[in-house]
Amino acid sequence: MPRTINPWERRPSFVSFFEFIQPALDAMKDMPELQAKGNRKLQMTFEDHLRALVFFHLEEHTSAQDLLQTLKEDDFAREHVAPEDGIGKSSFSEATNTRGLEQFMYVFQHLQTQASHLLPKAHEELGDLVGIDGSLIEGTLSMIWADYRKGSKKAKVHVGLDLNRSIPTKVHLTDGNGAERPFVSQILSEGQTGVMDRGYQCHALFDQWQADDKFFICRIKAGTHKKILAQNPVAADSIVFFDAMVLLGTPGVNQSQTPLRLVGYEIENVKYWIATSRYDLTAEQIAQAYKLRWDIENFFAWWKRHLKVYHLIARSPHGLMVQILAGLITYLLLAIYCHKHFQEKVSIRRVRQLRTQIENELRCWPPGGEYQEFEKEQKLQSVNAKT
């Protein structure tokens, strides 16, 4: 007599969402303990908060109300993402806007370090390149801190992107009028090279960065005055038409004091002028390194479109930074997941595949099934910090 097959025996040995978020839960093990403020009983653990915000970005929710409704009505989200007793709008808002910032930053930095060690370098011969840029976030008129212009409120996120591995490294938040140039020194670590567009051109900072041993590759305006000190030979068949040591700016007005290298090259009838303190690279490699700067533009566009990072669930600087960090954490989790399973960079194809896999697995799991034991086991390994 043929043996009757239990359909649950054919289910996978893990649930993909739990595997996906596990690196973030592991990062919590040595996380600074979150201290409660006041005597009011807290409604969410930090782990619940982290799970909810990662779920928010991964599943493309468009508002806090949308997320909270899902946490209440969706079986999986209610049992394995939301707090045991549920979470109300006011409690979720309070947690996001007043607590957990240090812990979210800690998890982000831990995952960034893990991803840096795990992912291969795509352009190792160019050195440790960090694309630096700012991106505006549409605000509401109630965000009185987010100055931009009359009748319009915007915040600005300043990000460093590892151009070898296509992952974020540092993040800062200001109002929409926040200057971008001061963040270069805060984003760059020793030995790294900042790759920047024309908005970062500042001759005094070029001097300062060289004095501080901060390497840079920065496009400058074509009309910038150049005093040539020494020229390097240029091949006739190269895209490069200029390579020299120069002083930039008008004497007595804004001229740089420390000589730097200036490379000029042309692609599709567009001339690019690149100021740099990298003397070890060829002029063609300088051009290649600057081209990689566009990766940070692609990152902002992809991050905004597919993870819904700029759909506000908070209005305060604290809450918005928590949301931004949660979006960066989700992206790093995707980078780790895509490399582990496919040896690929993050792509929307793999994200959709992950979402579908999670949905398919959940259809196969009975209530009170093995995934509950899986989650209990994982929770025993993580910190039960409150938020």
pTM of the model: 0.87
Comparing CA positions, the residue from 52, 80, 29, 70 lying closest to residue 376 is: 80
Strands of the chain, DSSP E: 129-138, 147-149, 152-162, 167-175, 193-196, 215-219, 226-231, 240-248, 260-267, 270-276
**What sign does the dihedral 232-238-242-245 (CA atoms) show?**
negative
Query: What are the residues facing 143 on neighbouring strands?
Result: none
Helix (H) or strand (E) holding 301: helix 294-306
> Under the phi-then-psi rule, with left for phi > 0, alpha for psi from -120 to 50, and beta for the rest, what region is 211?
alpha
Question: Is the model's pLDDT at 293 over the cut of 50?
Answer: yes
Going by pLDDT thresholds of 50, 70 and 90, the confidence category of residue 283 is very high
Q: What string of DSSP letters covers 197-258?
A: -GGG--HHHHHHHHHTT-EEEEE--TT--EEEEEE----TTSSEEEEEEEEES-TTTT--SS
CB 327 within 8 A of CB 303: yes
Q: Give how far Cα 194 sits from Cα of 133, 218, 308, Å.
A: 10, 8, 27
In this structure, the number of other CB atoms found within 10 A of the CB of residue 264 comes to 19
Q: Where in the chain is the domain with CATH 3.90.350.10?
A: 122-300
Average pLDDT (132-154) is 93
Helix (H) or strand (E) holding 12: none
Average pLDDT (144-162) is 94
Comparing CA positions, the residue from 118, 122, 113 lying closest to residue 291 is: 122
d(CA 99, CA 318): 8
Tens digit of pLDDT for each residue in 109-129? 999 999 999 999 999 999 999
Question: Is the model's pLDDT at 92 over the cut of 70?
Answer: yes
Query: Which runs of consecutive H residues, i.e. helices, occur in 59-172?
Result: 64-73, 75-80, 89-98, 101-118
CB 377 within 8 A of CB 17: no
The CATH architecture to which 122-300 belongs is: Alpha-Beta Complex (3.90)
Question: Is the model's pLDDT at 386 over the cut of 60?
Answer: no
Average pLDDT (221-248) is 96
d(CA 178, CA 10): 55
- CB within 8 A of 59, min separation 6: which ones? 70, 355
If one compares 279 and 78, the residue with the highest pLDDT of the two is 279
Tens digit of pLDDT for each residue in 39-77? 666 678 898 899 989 988 888 788 888 888 888 887 778
CB 196 within 8 A of CB 184: yes
Q: Give percent of the chain with pLDDT exceeding 90.
A: 61
d(CA 232, CA 292): 24
What is the rounded (10 degree) CA torsion for 147, 153, 159, 165?
-170
Question: Is the model's pLDDT at 204 over the cut of 70?
Answer: yes
d(CA 151, CA 314): 20
- DSSP 8-state secondary structure symbol assigned to residue 28: G
